[in-house]
Amino acid sequence: MYKEGACLYRNPLRSASDVKDWRMEGGGHVSFEDQRMHLSHVEDEAHFVYWCPETFPDGIIVKWDFYPIEQPGLCMLFFAAAGIGGEDLFDSRLKKRTGKYPEYHSGDINALHLSYFRRKYPEERAFRTCNLRKSRGFHLAALGADPLPSPDDAVSPYHMKLIKDKGYVHFSINDLPILEWQDDGSTFGPVLTKGKIGLRQMAPMKAAYRDLSVHQAVRG
């Protein structure tokens, strides 16, 4: 069991000033309505990643509110993201990224990526799962059933909670456990530790976000 320790980062995501230091990769459009950050695409096939500028240590609890607005598409959280040589994710020595997925799973960065709203393709909508992958290498580490409805039936917000502590990952929605995984540090490479977090969407998905926080994860 984990409880929240010291707050490392808190962002209401309610106005442009809240994300003035965030970094967009790809064709994403950011707007604010009803005190929520709305993310959508600029072009029909413009997928993107929107990065929080902070580098977080290992042993964290990440929470955010999620509002699905329009599908099809996909929503994902990257975490523990850094260069494969330990570089900061924004180090100029790393290749420029433009939002195309292979740049993130088979490029020069390591990351864990949690796909928690997968509605891009018919097969994803027909049998809905949340997927956890580890890269570099596009390794499927764990999956769980997806309880989120389509936007027309959504009663938002949905409270997302991710725990990452060394090799342990746990994800829940509205306190419902969705998936859990223990990285053995061998099968898919060494355990990932510190790094950045980022929000990814695949066009033409539209979604809103609010109240992002990161706390120390304390075992108790």
Average pLDDT over residues 103-117: 97
Residues 175-184, buried b or exposed e (16+ Cβ, 10 A)?
A: eeebbebebe
With bands split at pLDDT 50, 70 and 90, how would you rate the model's confidence at 45?
A: low
pLDDT in tens, 148-165: 999 999 999 999 999 999
pLDDT in tens, 169-193: 999 999 999 999 999 999 999 999 9
Instruction: State what percent of residues in the chain have pLDDT above 90.
Output: 97
Q: Is the pLDDT of residue 43 over 90?
A: no
Average pLDDT over residues 44-49: 84
Which long-range contacts link 23-27 to residues 24+ away (Cβ below 8 Å)? 23/50, 23/51, 23/53, 23/90, 24/48, 24/49, 24/50, 24/51, 25/49, 25/50, 25/51, 25/97, 25/98, 25/99, 26/97, 26/98, 26/99, 26/100, 27/99, 27/203
Would you state the CATH architecture of domain 2-219? Sandwich (2.60)
